[in-house]
Amino acid sequence: MTEFFAAMYETLFRVYHASYPEIFSTLYNFGGYMKLGGIFLLVPLVFWLLFYFLWRYPYGRFWHWLLWWLVSGGVVLVVTWFQARGAIFDSPNPALVDALADPESGYKVYAVTLPQRYALINTGLSLVAGFLYSLILKPFSKIQMHLPF
């Protein structure tokens, strides 16, 4: 899975920068990509499980669904930002720590922008995943089967 997530972020979304290999090797080797991938997959899954199977409000409308979709995206945004920041700035990799501590390496200036990028990518992915989860889960729901449509 690490291979898959790494390829997705680095190649598909072009986050990789050859000048800062320590950051990406750290994310690859210390489980950072797995956590980021897990966030955009699992957070919306939990949200939609709650929506379809625990929320027993029988008057759910489309705007309820839309709000929930956006809230799940928002949560992914925040969680991803904190996770990516922690994975980079609190890294157990001494090489990356040294690089970040060296102002002349440019690592720190570049790394500061990365959590936002990962957060935005994950938010987009989570919205897509959430929509798909919604379509998959809704036929099994008793009360919110009619949402989003």
54 binds another protein (CB under 8 A): no
What is the Cα–Cα distance from 145 to 57, expressed in whole angstroms? Answer: 12
What is the Cα–Cα distance from 6 to 34, expressed in whole angstroms? Answer: 8
Count Cβ atoms below 10 Å from residue 148 Cβ, excluding itself: 17
Residue range at the interface with another protein (CB under 8 A); choices 22-30, 32-40, 103-111, 138-146: 138-146
48 binds another protein (CB under 8 A): no
What is the Cα–Cα distance from 65 to 68, expressed in whole angstroms? Answer: 5
Task: Please give the residues from 55 up to 94 whose contact with another protein meets the rule CB under 8 A.
Answer: 56-61
Instruction: Copy the structure tokens of residue 52.
Output: 């379809």
Q: Which member of 19, 104, 113, 149 binds another protein (CB under 8 A)?
A: 149
Contact set with another protein (CB under 8 A): 56-61, 135, 138-139, 142-146, 149
